[in-house]
Structure 1
Amino acid sequence: MTLVHTFLNTCKKYAQKTAITDPNGALCYEDLRREALRCAGRLLSGSAGENIGILLPNGKEFVAAFYGILIAGKTPVPLNFLLSPEQLLYVIRDAEIDTVFTCNHFVPLLGNQIKYVFLMEENDSGVLLNEDSIHYGGEGEQAAVLYTSGTNANPKGVVLTHNNFLANLEGCMQAFHFAEKDILLGILPLFHTYALTTTLVLPICVGAAIIYLPRFSGLKVLEMIEKYKVTSLFAIPSMYRVLLRTAESTKYDLRTLRLCTSGGEPLPGDILEAFRKVFPIPLTEGYGLTEATAIVSVNLPEKSKPGSVGPPLDNIEIKIVNDNGQEKPRNNDGEIWVKGPNIMKGYHKLPKETAETIAPDGWLKTGDYGRLDKEGFLWITGRKKELIIISGENVSPMEIEQVISRHEKVFEVAVVGAPDKLRGEVPKAFIALHEHATCSEDEIKNYCMQQLPHYKVPKYFEFRKELPHGPTGKILKRALK
């Protein structure tokens, strides 16, 4: 069984049922199947490479392109349109992408790097792929390459197989009890593994309906929940904070909701408490990572411990280890290791990093710190990596440091994450200037804004005469937090 099998089976079983609704209208499963076959036909009419980019907002077109690429026997690579032009170019080159499905709005982001640009506005002109030519693939074949920021500035491509996705979906369906009657609201960008799994692959697999919003708006989300009788919502804490603020000053019927889950970044306790008072159901928190195909553990309304990220899904194992990889007893902090059929195949073209991340016996070293309690609930206590998680997006401090360090007045710089009520974390830059140099915060901020996406520009700047160093000469970031 592969994602192509599940997609075509669902389209046949629920042919006339509405599959997707977005601001441009609705599409039933049969029409979605036809759009996917058109995408596949367009791909196979030329000489596209193996990895195919998708540079699209949330909507019918993204879903059609995703499955059309798989049907054509190619690998979809969702592209993050929030990346800087340099990083987007890096991903395109690293994945060896020569073909992209996109829209007129995003074409300027591609420059002249792409051989074949397929505009989804022109998909109606495509010829449907003959059903005899459908590539169903095998369980172990690549189903997607998702790029995620690592401890280095450049993103890494995570290779996920059909079996990875289907195994994670099996665990999710057992936990969430999803069925064709569910209506999910997709507000997270689909280039993110959390969104791709929970608001595309999962609902398509069970024949549920999906409502997509290309841009997040608290008022619009509440309006959509009432209008379409949404049953499930997956979002990040900063989005739930905005929803709370909006719900407190408006009146919408939210009684159809049966599940609201938070992930992507730590969930602050004040959001959890406030949610109970405003929404008809409790907010539950989960934990996952791209390398584990999205979801590893999750609290459920009937099985929950506030502050934890829940027990692992039924088909996933978790253990806590010390620095030597030896398992620690319950209620002891250590690095979180994960094992199961959801673990990635590896990093694209990075065998050394893959071997460092996946142990020979299949355990994934997450780089996160936590503990398992006696009941098997996972508690996150910190991150081994230095990544800053801004509204659910992984941001490498090194990328920001490299930009600031190029300023002529800067001697050295260190960037760390600072707590932020709206976005979870924001960058904070500690800067030491060259001797006798003078520089204002505005000057550095304006410099950053010219070279970084807005969300990566530090919110805070602190100038120091010198930064703390360890015995080997490295800046001691822990002394700055």
Structure 2
Amino acid sequence: MTSHKIYPAGYAAIDLNISSCGIWDFVFASKLAAARDSEKIALEQGNTGEQIRQSLSLKRGDTIAILCPNTLQFVVLALGAQAAGIIVTTVNVAYTAREIALQISDSQSSAIFAGPAQLAAAKEAAKIVALGENKVFMLDSPKETKQSLDSLLSEDQLVPEHFTPEQARSETAFMCYSSGTTGKAKGVQSTHFNINTNTLQISGTGEAFVSSDNVLAFLPIFHLFALTANVLQALYLGSKLVLLPRFDPQLVLDTIASKEINAAYIAPPVAMFLAKDPRVKPEGMKSLRWLLSGAAPLGGEVAAAVQERIGVPTFQGYGLTEMSPAVFMSGPANSREGSVGKLLPNQEAKLVAPDGSDADPSVGGEVWLRGPNTMKGYLNRPEETANCIDEEGWFHSGDVATRDADGFYYIVDRLKDLLKYNGYQVCPSERRIHLEIALYPLQLAVEAVLILHEDVKDAAVRAEIFSALSLPKIGVKKDGNDLPAAFVALKDGAASSSSSSKTESEVLASIDAWFTSQVAPFKRLRAGLFAVKAVPRSAAGKILRKELAIPTAPAAVTV
């Protein structure tokens, strides 16, 4: 393998002996707990997971799925499961039943714990995978509810599982799903050691919360970024954690003011809201010390607009689920405009040019990463794991970055074709995913779903990357997101022919409406659906996305 320049961490090293234990012991060994609103609730109920394990006849290393927005019971269940040695896979609450079923099957989950609004989809998914409705339980339900988390608990006091340092490094704790660099959703196996270490790496920068902070959490904790950097970080440091189910603009503003919130993790659309919405008043933000944006790139002009509007600095970080997840982080003592910050403690980085040589850091190269927070691997996908983690342990991120002389990194591009909308990954890939137990393919990729339509012969997707603070041109809001634009080659006779009375626009509108019903909201074709004579492809069959051009006005736009 070519020898490359290795860039060291930008912060002092941490003691990895501290993180070589189970997550429960790491977080709660000497801490009390979390708070929601003014209610102080001790989470040191390690027997919760043990009781669930006994009630469901689970063994250490089995998996449960949580399909729920941010709630206290989500946190109690997720961390209680860690105390029992149960793996937790978190499911996006926006998923359809078919999408949920794919993850349940792939993760081999033994039970699903769903919020009230997600219960119907969870039950439908359970039917698809033949799990049985008796393995679907409701979170945040009335105590008398038969199929609930509370129904599995008793008054018995059980002893949490112990993890040796070796077990902490080898046993999976959380399994979030990521499209990685290949576009196909995969279960990322994060060990207890991975998660603990990344929590320490963040706190070791001196840029994180402090014990006296009131911390707000509204980003979805089914994502590892919010779960680790926001929730576990606050609990580990002993900060007061205020959980909100989701980003509700007025509720967030009211909570910041009434609970005197000091710090919060946000995403670029939230930064846009703070910078421009008339409901935001500087006097209601006085308690805030800083905000940190993740999940997607944040333009320097947006961060500057937030600070000018409410007087609060907004910093950036960068991470990947495969790295548990935080990699770079900026903060009050270490920040540059547009930078995602410096490399976190005990991590190493390379910048690699397309030809495999060292990249000029001022020009940029693919980011390769190595550290104790690197995932164990993708579940049951050794080849795909080997494709992104080489024999020397370097994770090939697929993202392109530059590095300045002071060690600040700037993410400038993505090698992969993934789109990001409000922090969610949208995969344009045409790979098709099947469940043998289902009667129909569970095709989650945008192109694969479009190709299922009876009028579509071929399909391709590209991203329209809109600059924040600019005006819309085609009827959609420009907020820094990657908006999927789809191009379809219609089957002969689908429109304007002797066998069809529909116009091309009517056919496209019908396809768009059907597609919207098949996928989660964040995958919708918000930049439009267009007809092309043929999808441009190379001699090898690869879609030439750069040759896909949006007409002056779209035939169909989903908002």
Alignment TM-score, normalising by the size of structure 2: 0.79
Structure 2 residue identity aligned to 1:402:
A
Please tell me the residue identity of whatever aligns with 1:139.
A
CA distance, structure 2, for counterparts of residue 152 and residue 334 of structure 1 = 18
* Aligned counterpart, 2:462: 416
Q: Is 1:139 matched up with 2:168?
A: yes
Match of 2:542 among 453, 467, 474: 474
**Which residue in 2 is equivalent to 1:434?**
491
- Write out aligned runs for 1:77-476 (5 A): 77-110=89-122, 111=124, 112=127, 113-114=131-132, 116-120=135-139, 121=141, 122=143, 123-124=149-150, 126-128=153-155, 130-136=157-163, 138-140=167-169, 141-150=171-180, 154-175=184-205, 176-246=207-277, 250=281, 252-398=283-429, 399-420=445-466, 421-422=478-479, 424-435=481-492, 437-438=494-495, 439-440=504-505, 441-459=508-526, 460-476=528-544
Q: Which amino acid aligns with 1:71?
A: A
- Tell me by how many angstroms 1:181 deviates: 0.8
**8 Å contact from structure 2 (residues 378, 385) kept in 1:** yes
Separation in 2 of the partners of 1:133 and 1:168?
23
Q: Is the alpha carbon distance of 1:39 and 1:403 closer, same or farther for their aligned partners in structure 2, counting shifts above 3 Å?
A: same
CA deviation after TM superposition for structure 1 residue 370, in Å: 1.6
Higher helix share: 1
Cα separation, 2, equivalents of 1:252 and 1:182: 19
- Cα distance in 2 for partners of 1:205, 1:133 equals 18
CA distance in 2, matches of 1:386, 1:448: 20
Pair 467,132 (structure 1): closer, same or farther in 2 beyond 3 Å: closer
Rate the CA distance shift 1:116–1:189 in 2: closer, same or farther, 3 A.
same
Question: How many equivalent residue pairs?
Answer: 471
Deviations for 1:111-148, whole angstroms, at most 9, x for unmatched residues?
23355233333445522553435444632121111111
Who is 1:21 aligned against? 36
Percentage identity across paired residues of the two chains: 30
Please state how far the C-alpha of 1:462 moved relative to its aligned partner.
Answer: 2.6
In structure 2, relative to structure 1, the CA distance for the partners of 1:161 and 1:247 (3 Å cut) is: farther
AA at the equivalent of 2:517: Q
Give the letter aligned to residue 374 of structure 1.
Answer: A
Counterpart CA distance in 2 for 1:405 and 1:117 is 32
Counterpart for residue 9 of structure 1: 29
- Comparing 72-81 and 265-274, the one that deviates more: 265-274
Q: Distance in 2 between matches of 1:189 and 1:177?
A: 19
Amino acid at match of 2:73: E
**Equivalent AA in structure 1 for residue 481 of structure 2:** G
**Bigger mean CA offset, 283-292 vs 324-333:** 324-333
Distance change >3 Å, CA 252–CA 368, structure 1 → 2: same
Q: CA deviation at 1:422?
A: 2.8
Cα deviation, residue 88, structure 1: 1.0
Q: Is the deviation greater in 125-134 or in 447-456? A: 125-134
How far did residue 172 of structure 1 move? 0.7
Counterpart secondary structure, 2:343: coil
Residues 327-346 of structure 1: CA deviation (Å, up to 9, x unaligned): 33431321110111111110
Q: Give the whole-Å Cα distance in 1 for the aligned partners of 2:323 and 2:278.
A: 33
How far does residue 39 in structure 1 lie from its aligned partner after superposition? 4.1
**Equivalents in 2 of 1:105, 1:238: separation in Å?**
24
Change (3 A) 1:377 1:251: closer
Which whole-Å deviations, capped at 9, do the CAs of 1:410-440 have from their partners, x for residues lacking one? 2321111112423611111122223454222
Q: Tell me the distance in 2 between the aligned counterparts of 1:119 and 1:39.
A: 16
> Quick check: which has more Rg, 1 or 2?
2
SS at 1:132 equivalent: coil
Alignment-derived partner of residue 33 in structure 1: 44
- Other structure's SS at 1:57 match: coil
Root-mean-square deviation (CA, aligned residues, Å) is 2.2
Closer, same or farther in 2 for the Cα pair 1:326/1:129, shift >3 Å? Answer: farther
Are 1:309 and 1:379, in contact at CA under 8 Å, matched by a contact in 2? yes
Q: In structure 2, list runs of 5 or more residues that go unmatched.
A: 1-20, 144-148, 430-444, 467-477, 496-503, 550-559
| Cα distance in structure 2, aligned partners of 1:303 and 1:386 | 31
Unpaired runs of at least 5, structure 1: none
| 1:222/1:247 contact within 8 Å kept | no
User: How far apart are residue 77 of structure 1 and its match?
Assistant: 1.2
Task: Give the direction of change, closer, same or farther, for the CA distance of 1:189–1:423 in structure 2 (3 Å limit).
Answer: farther
1:162 aligned partner, one-letter code: H
